[in-house]
């Protein structure tokens, strides 16, 4: 008889310093769900993308890669989560994966779990 796989463990990241220290690992980012305007190198708006805004300030953490439009939730989902405290667990990257010309914006991708904290 086999036993269930061990539960995945992750570091809790609530500050900018904790986020920076956890790049490349599985992390649970905690903060407020909001849209973040992502701009290209010329200053043009690339996208308004879901992100976790950390309580202590610092850079927001994108939820999934801005380069994959299929990962952006439906507007109703976004509106239902905006302003709520959330925990997002997944691989924490220093920039959105998926393109060579990346942006320097922390990104959780792929996301394993997203939940509202009551």
Locate tokens 């393109």: which residue? 99
The confidence score (pLDDT) of residue 6 equals 40
Residue among 50, 113, 39, 105 nearest 83 (CA): 50
* Cα pseudo-dihedral 42, 44, 35, 51, rounded to 10: -20
Greater confidence, 75 or 4?
75
**Is the per-residue pLDDT at 33 higher than 50?**
yes
Q: Specify burial of residue 48 (Cβ count, 10 A radius: 0-12, 13-18, 19+).
A: middle
Q: 1-5, 68-72, 96-100: lowest mean pLDDT where?
A: 1-5
Task: Specify the pTM.
Answer: 0.88
Locate tokens 């950390």: which residue? 54
DSSP letter assigned to residue 81: H
Q: How far apart are CA 1 and CA 94, in angstroms?
A: 41
Please name each of the domains of the chain with its CATH number: 11-116 (2.40.50)
The confidence score (pLDDT) of residue 8 equals 54
Determine contact, residues 19/54, Cβ cutoff 8 Å.
yes
């Amino acid at each position: 008889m086999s036993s269930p796989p061990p539960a995945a463990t992750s570091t809790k990241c609530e500050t900018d310093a904790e986020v920076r220290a956890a790049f490349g690992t599985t992390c649970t980012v905690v903060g407020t769900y909001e849209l973040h305007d992502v701009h290209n190198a010329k200053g043009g708006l690339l996208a308004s993308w879901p992100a976790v805004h950390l309580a202590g300030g610092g850079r927001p953490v994108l939820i999934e890669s801005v380069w994959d439009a299929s990962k952006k939730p439906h507007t109703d989902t976004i509106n239902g989560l905006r302003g709520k405290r959330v925990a997002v667990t997944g691989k924490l990257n220093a920039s959105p994966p998926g393109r060579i010309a990346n942006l320097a914006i922390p990104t959780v991708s792929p996301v394993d779990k997203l939940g509202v904290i009551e």
